[in-house]
Amino acid sequence: MRYWLDSLRMMLGAEPQRLDYTEAAKAQHDFKAEPEQRKLRVAAIREELAHKQTSYKWRKWRWSSIIIINVLFVISYWFDVQLVEGALTASRFIGFHMADLNAALQVVLAQKEILINLVIGIVTVGFLWWLAGGRSFCSWACPYHLVAEFAEMIHLKLADKKIVEDHPLDRRLRIVLWIVFAVLAFVTGYTVFETISPVGILSRALIYGGGLALIWVAVLLLIEIFYIRRFWCRYICPIGLTYGIVGSAGSPVHVEYLLENCLHEGECRKVCLVPHVLEITKKGRAHDVKVAVGADCTRCGMCIEACPTGALNFKIKGLGDLL
């Protein structure tokens, strides 16, 4: 329970806390601290970095998922097959109502009433993304996440050449903006956030055609390339925060960390969209020998791809490994 509460605190912008070790975790930490084990670990890290190979299995699955989900909207509209009507913010799948959780919240606050179709859409979508867990919507369905991933690749290449550098913001900004947009919707009666959300803008542009709003998306991507790595997803987007809260409550799918297998070299944190959730991978930080990665995790799998020792893996409660 305490770890779950701590992961929620981190998602809301708090810094990770040290938790009391279990007996098994303390024994593992003490074992790794032995001089001989330290030498072996350092040698293993050097060997790993000298022959570094990255698997992109989960990236291929994720990109395919994002493309397929969004292409279904395009095909349904342009060929009038009525499979998925609408856009990611609100739609019908074979006539069954679906609603983005944050967009639905904005509508309820703006209109000050709860519509039955909206309730159906919220329950359906909420349950599906609860099953997937964490902020899985972000990395498995969001069209902006895909283009932002390419922007991040460019940023990292430029950073390696010392052309740009990251300027991190306070992660608490996201919860402040979540509240601000909620209040604006309630006070103005208008879903203000939806006018600037690159998720909705891209989804509608793909289906119905582009417009001037795409300039705003381009501005965000330029900020992410040249100034702040993952500016929108890490520090601004209330959509991810909403899904993170829903996906935090006992979801069956999670990324599991195995203390015994970890070399603590930090390659996983370098690729993570939300590296604070991987504080447990730092030497001496894990409170147990097996730890489910926290609520803010996007379930993107990049940390799994970066880890050659199997210290991180997808798990389904009661079933074990996912693929």
Compute mean pLDDT per 10 residues along the chain, 323 residues long, and list them: 76 84 93 90 84 83 95 90 82 81 91 85 89 91 96 96 95 94 95 93 91 95 97 93 84 92 91 91 92 91 91 82 56
Query: Cα dist. 60→54, 135, 298, 301 in Å?
Result: 13, 18, 15, 10
Q: How many CA atoms within 13 Å lie on the side-chain side of 117? A: 9
Boundary residue ending a domain (221, 246, 271): 246
Please tell me whether residues 286 and 213 are part of one structural domain.
Answer: no
What pLDDT sits at residue 82?
76
The pLDDT value recorded for residue 139 is: 94
Verify that 32 and 68 share a domain, yes or no: no
* Exposure letters 189-216 (e unless 16+ CB within 10 A, then b): eebbbbeebbbbbbbbbbbeeeeebeee
Give the per-residue pLDDT at 318. Answer: 66
Say whether both 83 and 132 belong to one domain: yes
**29 and 150 fall within a common domain:** no
Tell me the residue range of the domain where 131 lies. Answer: 58-246
- The strand pairing partners of 292, in sequence order, are 256
Give the pLDDT of residue 319. 65
Q: What is the pLDDT of residue 96?
A: 75
Tokens of 227: 């100034």
Contact (Cβ atoms closer than 8 angstroms) between residue 205 and residue 214: yes
Same domain for 197 and 269: no
What pLDDT, on a 0 to 100 scale, did the predictor assign at position 321? 58
pLDDT of residue 116: 84
Residue 259 pLDDT = 95
Same domain, 240 and 275: no
End-of-domain residue from the set 212, 230, 246: 246
Taking alpha carbons only, the member of 15, 186, 13, 198 closest to residue 107 is 186
Nearest one of 116, 96, 108 to 189, comparing CA atoms: 108
Render pLDDT for 145-158 as a digit per residue (tens, 0 to 9).
999 999 999 999 99
Same domain for 270 and 162?
Answer: no
Tell me, yes or no, whether 180 and 300 share the same domain. no
Number of domains in the chain: 2
Q: Indicate the pTM of the whole model.
A: 0.90
Residue 224: both structure tokens together: 């992410």
Whether residues 38 and 74 fall in one domain: no
Instruction: Give yes or no: residues 171 and 273 share one domain.
Output: no
Whether residues 128 and 234 share a domain: the answer is yes
CA 201 – CA 179 distance, rounded (Å):
21
Is residue 321 classed as helix, strand or coil in its secondary structure?
A: strand
Buried b or exposed e, range 99-120, using 16+ CB within 10 angstroms: bbbbbbbbbbbbeeeeeeebee
Note the pLDDT of residue 323. Answer: 53
